[in-house]
C-alpha cells in the first residue's frame, strides 16, 4: 500500500483512498442495546447497592456502575482483554452506553497534549476506564462477599426476565442442567492444571443453567484436575433452594454420567427433587443388558427403532435400589445395537421411558448454551501474580501483595456469564419480535458489532446505523421498550 500525507492508496486500485478522520465512527452500537437491556432488568443498580466498594469516595472518577457497564458492554461486544478499554477509550457508542451522565456530556472530550492529559476535574470521566482501573475493579470484586453478590446476580437477572415474560408468575416447572466445562488457559495461572481428558491446561468450572431459557444461573471456578462432580452437593442443593424460592415452584435436575453418586442422589431424593441422569456402564449393568441387546428377528425397518426396558439396580455404594431404564438404539449403519442406561426417581407413571429419554436428550440444548458462553464470549482467565517492577519508570516506593489470581479469574468468569445473560435476554426479545431463532454469534454479528456513526445536533446524539442493521433494530426496539422487568 502507498501512503502520502495521511492518505493510503492500495496498489490494486489507485482510485481508492483510505483516510483516518476525527469522526465519531463506531463498530459498537450494540453496547447501547446491552445497556438498555441492563436498564430494563435494573441489574446494575441491584449490583451497586450490594457490592462493597473500598475506594475513597473523594478520589473516585469512575463509579462502580460505570465500571460494571464497561465490563459487560466490552465482553458482550467481543472485547475480551482489559487493555481493549484503552484502545476504545474514545468510542462514541461505548462512552454513551456506559456513562451515568445524560445528554451529550459523555462525548465531551478534554484537550490532550501528546498523550498527556491537561489538568481537569478528577470526578468527571474522560472516556472509558483504563486497564489499571478495570484491574483494580476485578481485585475489589474478588472478595468473598462481592463474589457471592456477582454469583447471585446471575439468578436475579434470570428471575426478573422469566417472571416478566410469565406475567409476574413463577413457572410451575423448570429444569436445571448441571455440568462441568473446560476453560482453557495459556499460562501458569494459579489453580490451572493439565487435564488429560481434555488434553489441555484448563480450569474446570461447575456451571448451572435453566434448560428452558438457556440462562446461566450459577457458576463456580475449580482447579484444572477437579473431578466432574467435585463440590456438587455444596453447589446444587443451595441453588435448588434459591431457584424454587425465586424462579419457579418445582425444579428438576438433569446431570451427566459423571455426577450420580450416593450422596447426591440421596440428597435429591430427600428433598423430593426429580432428577434424570445417565450412568456409566459397568460389568453388572452389562450383564443385565445382555439379554436385551440382541437384534430382533426380522428385517430392519427404514426408521431406526428404540427399545426400552424397565429395571431396578443397586450399586455397591448405594443405600437402596433405584429405577433404571435400559435404552437400546438401532442405528442405521451399525451392525450391532447400541445401548446406555438412565437413572431417575420419577416413577414409570410419572415419566414413561420414551418421555424420560426425550427429556434427557434435551441436554444438548444446554450444552449448546454452555458452548456459546465459552466460544462466543471466550473468557480470558489470564490473571496471574505479577509483582510491580516499575511505576512511571521508577522502582515503586511501596510494594503491595499480589491479589489472589484464582479468585480474580472467578470474577472474570462470573462477569462473562452475566454478559452472556444480558446478550441472551436481548436475543430472546429479538426472537420474540421476529419469530426466528438465532445463534449468539450471529446475533452479535448482525445487531451488536455493526458499523455506525454518531452525530451531534445541539443537545442530541444520533446514532446512524447501516440499512441492514437498522431494519433488525427496528424490529427489536419496540419489544425491548415494552419490556419492564418485575423484581423477584
pLDDT digits (tens, 9 = 90+) for 300-326: 666 778 999 999 999 999 999 999 999
Burial class from Cβ neighbours inside 10 Å (0-12, 13-18, 19+) for residue 119 reads exposed
For residues 89-101, b (16+ Cβ closer than 10 Å) or e, as one string?
Answer: ebbbbbbbbbbee
pLDDT for 441: 96
pLDDT score of 358: 95
What is the pairing mode between strands 216-220 and 275-279? unpaired
DSSP letter string over 377-398? I-------------BTTB--SS
Q: Give the gyration radius of the chain's Cα atoms.
A: 26
pLDDT in the model for residue 118: 45
- Tell me phi and psi for residue 340, to 5 degrees: -155, 170
Q: pLDDT (tens digit, 9 = 90+) per residue, 353-384?
A: 999 999 999 998 899 999 999 999 999 999 88
Closest to 203 measured CA to CA, from 424, 381, 428: 381
What is the residue whose three cell numbers read 446505523?
465
pLDDT for 4 beyond 60? no
CA–CA dist 186, 158 (Å, integer): 32
Here the cell at position 22 is 476525527
Using pLDDT thresholds of 50, 70 and 90, give the confidence band for residue 2. Answer: very low
If one compares 47 and 126, the residue with the highest pLDDT of the two is 47
SS3 labels along 60-80: CCCCHHHHHHHHHHHHHHCCC
pLDDT class for 14, splitting at 50, 70, 90?
confident
Residue 169, pLDDT score: 86
Residues 6+ positions from 242 with CB-CB distance below 8 Å: 152, 155
Cell numbers for 40: 430494563
Q: Is the pLDDT of residue 111 over 90?
A: no
In the chain, the percentage of residues whose pLDDT exceeds 90 is: 73
Q: What is the pLDDT of residue 413?
A: 97
196 pLDDT higher than 60? yes
Specify the pLDDT at position 416: 97
pLDDT confidence of residue 396: 74
Q: Are 8 and 18 in contact (CB under 8 A)?
A: yes
Using CA of residue 191, residue 197, residue 200, residue 203, what is the dihedral sign? negative
Residue 33 CB burial class (10 angstroms; 0-12, 13-18, ≥19): buried
Q: Residue 3: pLDDT above 50?
A: no
Name which of 82, 169, 166, 106 is nearest 386 in CA terms: 82
Residues 409-437 pLDDT 10s: 999 999 999 999 999 999 999 999 999 99
Name the most confidently modeled range: 125-134, 289-298, 316-325: 316-325
Pick from 245, 175, 241, 239: which is nearest to 210 by CA?
175
pLDDT digits (tens, 9 = 90+) for 437-466: 999 999 999 999 999 999 998 889 999 999
Is the CB of residue 324 less than 8 Å from the CB of residue 342? Answer: yes
Predicted local confidence at residue 1, as pLDDT: 40
Instruction: Say how many C-beta atoms besides its own lie within 10 A of residue 371's C-beta.
Output: 13
Asked whether the predicted pLDDT for residue 392 surpasses 70, the reply is: no
Dihedrals φ, ψ of 474, to 5°?
-65, -30
Amino acid at each position: 500500500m502507498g501512503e502520502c500525507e495521511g492518505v493510503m492508496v492500495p496498489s490494486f486500485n489507485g482510485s481508492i483512498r483510505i483516510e483516518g478522520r476525527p469522526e465519531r465512527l463506531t463498530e459498537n452500537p450494540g453496547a447501547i442495546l446491552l445497556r438498555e437491556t441492563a436498564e430494563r432488568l435494573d441489574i446494575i443498580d441491584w449490583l451497586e447497592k450490594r457490592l462493597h466498594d473500598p475506594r475513597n469516595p473523594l478520589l473516585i472518577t469512575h463509579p462502580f456502575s460505570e465500571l460494571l457497564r464497561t465490563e459487560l458492554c466490552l465482553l458482550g461486544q467481543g472485547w475480551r482483554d482489559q487493555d481493549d478499554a484503552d484502545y476504545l477509550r474514545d468510542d462514541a457508542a461505548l462512552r454513551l452506553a456506559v456513562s451515568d451522565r445524560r445528554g451529550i456530556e459523555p462525548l465531551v472530550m478534554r484537550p490532550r497534549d501528546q498523550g498527556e492529559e491537561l489538568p481537569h476535574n478528577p470526578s468527571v470521566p474522560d472516556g472509558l476506564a483504563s486497564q489499571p482501573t478495570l484491574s483494580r475493579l476485578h481485585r475489589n470484586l474478588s472478595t468473598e462477599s462481592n463474589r457471592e453478590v456477582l454469583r447471585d446476580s446471575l439468578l436475579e437477572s434470570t428471575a426478573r426476565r422469566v417472571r416478566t415474560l410469565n406475567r409476574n408468575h413463577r413457572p410451575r416447572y423448570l429444569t436445571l442442567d448441571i455440568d462441568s466445562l473446560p476453560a482453557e488457559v495459556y499460562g501458569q495461572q494459579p489453580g490451572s492444571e493439565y487435564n488429560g481428558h481434555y488434553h489441555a491446561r484448563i480450569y474446570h468450572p461447575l456451571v448451572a443453567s435453566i434448560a428452558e431459557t438457556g440462562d446461566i444461573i450459577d457458576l463456580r471456578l475449580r482447579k484444572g484436575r477437579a473431578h466432574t462432580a467435585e463440590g456438587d452437593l455444596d453447589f446444587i442443593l443451595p441453588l435448588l433452594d434459591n431457584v424454587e424460592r425465586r424462579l419457579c415452584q418445582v425444579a428438576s435436575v438433569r446431570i451427566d454420567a459423571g455426577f450420580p453418586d450416593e450422596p447426591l442422589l440421596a440428597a435429591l431424593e430427600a428433598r423430593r427433587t426429580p432428577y434424570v441422569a445417565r450412568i456409566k456402564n459397568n460389568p453388572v449393568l452389562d450383564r443385565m443388558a445382555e439379554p436385551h441387546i440382541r437384534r430382533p428377528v426380522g428385517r430392519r425397518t427404514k426408521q431406526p427403532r428404540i427399545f426400552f426396558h424397565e429395571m431396578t439396580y443397586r450399586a455397591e455404594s448405594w443405600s437402596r435400589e433405584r429405577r433404571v431404564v435400559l435404552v437400546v438404539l438401532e442405528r442405521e449403519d451399525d451392525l450391532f445395537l447400541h445401548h446406555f442406561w438412565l437413572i431417575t426417581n420419577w416413577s414409570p407413571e410419572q415419566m414413561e421411558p420414551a418421555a424420560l429419554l426425550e427429556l434427557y436428550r434435551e441436554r444438548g440444548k444446554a450444552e449448546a448454551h454452555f458452548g456459546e458462553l465459552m466460544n462466543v464470549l471466550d473468557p480470558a482467565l489470564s490473571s496471574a501474580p505479577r509483582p510491580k517492577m516499575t511505576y512511571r519508570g521508577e522502582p515503586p516506593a511501596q510494594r503491595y501483595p499480589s491479589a489472589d489470581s484464582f479468585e480474580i479469574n472467578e470474577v472474570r468468569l462470573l462477569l462473562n456469564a452475566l454478559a452472556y445473560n444480558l446478550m441472551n435476554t436481548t436475543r430472546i426479545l429479538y426472537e420474540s419480535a421476529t419469530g426466528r431463532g438465532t445463534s449468539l454469534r450471529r446475533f452479535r454479528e448482525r445487531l451488536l458489532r455493526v458499523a455506525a456513526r454518531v452525530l451531534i445536533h445541539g443537545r442530541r446524539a444520533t446514532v446512524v446505523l447501516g440499512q441492514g442493521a437498522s431494519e433488525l433494530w427496528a424490529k427489536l426496539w419496540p419489544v425491548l421498550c415494552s419490556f419492564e422487568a418485575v423484581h423477584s
